[in-house]
Amino acid sequence: MTDTHDVVIAGAGPAGGQAARDLASRGYDVVVLETESEDEFPSRSNKSTAGTFPSTMASFGIPDDVVMNFTDDVILESPNHHYRRHQPGAVLEFADFKNWLVDEAVADGAEYRFDARVSKPIMDGDEIVGVTYNGDEEVYADIVIDATGPAAPLAKALDVCGLRREKQAIGIEFEYENVDVDAEGYADLTDSMMLRLDHDIAPGGYSWIFHTGADTAKVGVCYLQNESHRANSKSGFTIDDYLQYWVDTDPRFADAKKLEGKQHRGSAHVQLPDKMSTDNFMAIGDTVPTVDPLWGEGIDKCMRSGRVAAATADRSLTDSDRDTSAGELAVYDQLWQDRVAPKVNKRLFMTEMLYRASNDRYDALVSDLHKHSKDKLDSVNAGNLRDMLGMLKLEDVSILAKTARDWVRN
């Protein structure tokens, strides 16, 4: 007997979990295939800093019991300056959060199959009609969703998304205790999420300290192996070496100790998405990619992509003809642009400019932030071109020109 369902989702992360949750609550027959075993989930995929904000908590009903620490401020650091902004947030225990998503979807009727590694699509002519997993197991569906992140076995086989190796950011994070979150000469990081721009620590990227309560924190480094990385990197250093270098040289970590079993590694692509759907198929979450290019926020974007994919599937499956053609599922691409990542082009351009700047320019930027109103900074963050240009200095002209040339070439 053929194993057939309304929707099959590969991957049980925030995007896949939210899509399953929304579709199951609408009464659809949904199966989620997850590589990890149920007992271990999500040990290998527990790779997010898991900082998010009240809008996300409220929009998706995320419960307080998966929160490690509620935060009051976001802080931006450069080598010699810092800028504090009041922005309530929450640092989640990512493993608890992912298990909560599973429980929510299962309660609504979704089926989860763990130890189920998806390998390739099942095709009928040019259209996907199901997936193969665990070697020779097959499952069929009217709609297939790839939520596997950068692995993207289905999206790659269908030539959807077009993830580029040179645009892949890598990150590592440890959780520490005995962190001095209010060290002399530094910003008070109590109940804060801090991002640091400093090529000495993260050439071509950024580092972070997210306070998780008392004297504990999530501490990590992320970068692209881009032009700035090559220009500022230390010979022979791996990403582990950069994190250790920071811990060894920053007095906030003088007495810090790693918490056993609290190591997280991950990657995400920082690039413009290509097409995101085709006949009977959508790619969501970091398969697209969906991570915010400027600040690396992923949970909200991934869950929103799962939600708009679920809405698109609902629209197609309730059609009297159950039309899941590429033309119908292209609604997802438009919803993604409108509701998940509006103005992504401008934000990505701003990101590429930012990574090209020097440490001296980072100091000037962070110092200048104090001169601008909250409304103007909100406008810049949202990608308003006029306000973005108003933040530039004369020395940024060469960075602007070089970034523009690369965009035209690519």
Residues 229 and 172 in one domain: yes
**Residue 77 confidence (pLDDT) above 90:** yes
How high is the pLDDT of residue 45? 62
**pLDDT band, residue 65 (cuts 50/70/90):** very high
Helix axes 344-356, 397-409, angle to 10 degrees: 130
Task: Give pLDDT, residue 389.
Answer: 76
User: How many folded domains does the chain comprise?
Assistant: 3
Q: 44 and 10, same structural domain?
A: yes
pLDDT of residue 190: 98
The pLDDT > 90 percentage for the chain reads 74
**Helix 14-25 with 299-317: angle, nearest 10 deg:** 40
- Residues 6+ positions from 182 with CB-CB distance below 8 Å: 188, 189, 190
Choosing from 340, 355, 388, the residue where a domain stops is: 340
**Residues 35 and 146 grouped into a single domain:** yes
d(CA 103, CA 62): 12
CATH number for the domain including 134?
A: 3.50.50.60
**Coil, strand, or helix at residue 265?**
strand
- Using one digit for the tens of pLDDT, what is the confidence trace for 228-251? 999 999 999 999 999 999 999 999
Q: Which of 340, 359, 387 is the last residue of a domain?
A: 340
Q: Give the domain extent around 251.
A: 53-92+166-269
| Terminal Cα distance for the chain, rounded | 48
Q: How many Cβ atoms from other residues are within 10 Å of residue 405's Cβ?
A: 10
Same domain flag for 100 and 208: no
Cβ atoms of 222 and 201 closer than 8 Å: no
> What's the rounded mean pLDDT across residues 399-410?
86
**Predicted confidence (pLDDT) per residue in 333-356, tens digit:** 999 999 998 888 888 888 888 899
Q: Is residue 33 over pLDDT 90? A: yes
- What is the pLDDT of the chain when averaged over all its residues? 93
Tell me the average pLDDT across 175-193. Answer: 97
pLDDT (tens digit per residue) in 351-384? 888 899 999 999 999 999 998 888 888 887 777 7
Q: Where are the alpha helices (DSSP H) in 44-172?
A: 54-60, 94-107, 153-157
Residue 204 scores a pLDDT above 80: yes
Instruction: Check whether residue 259 and residue 183 sit in a common domain.
Output: yes
Whether 46 has a pLDDT exceeding 70, the answer reads no
What does the pLDDT look like over 105-115, one tens digit per residue? 999 999 999 99
The mean pLDDT of 314-342, rounded to a whole number, is 95
pLDDT at 47: 66
H runs (alpha helix) in 147-200: 153-157
Are 26 and 99 found together in one domain?
yes
Are 146 and 217 in a shared domain? no
The answer to whether residue 139 scores a pLDDT higher than 70 is yes
Indicate the SS3 state at residue 68.
strand
Q: What is the DSSP letter of 11?
A: -
Strand arrangement, sheet containing 205-213: 51-52, 82-92, 67-77, 192-196, 205-213, 216-224, 168-177, 257-269
Question: 39 and 107 share a domain?
Answer: yes
Whether residue 159 sits in one domain with residue 109: yes
Residues 24 and 155 occupy one common structural domain: yes
Name the domain boundary from 247, 269, 291.
Answer: 269
More confident residue, 357 or 386: 357
For residues 188-195, average pLDDT? 98
Q: Please give the Cα distance from 15 to 276 (Å, whole number).
A: 14
Helix H, strand E, coil C: the string for 213-262 is ECCEEEEEEEEECCHHHHHHCCCCCCHHHHHHHHHHHCHHHCCCEEEEEE
353 and 329 together in one domain: no
- Give the residue, 296 or 212, on which the prediction is more confident: 212
Q: What is the pLDDT of residue 392?
A: 84
> Are residues 305 and 356 located together in one domain of the fold?
no
pLDDT of residue 377: 81
Report the CATH number at residue 242.
3.30.9.100
pLDDT tens-place string over residues 286-313: 999 887 766 777 899 999 999 999 999 9
Q: How many other C-beta atoms lie within 10 A of the C-beta of residue 243? A: 21
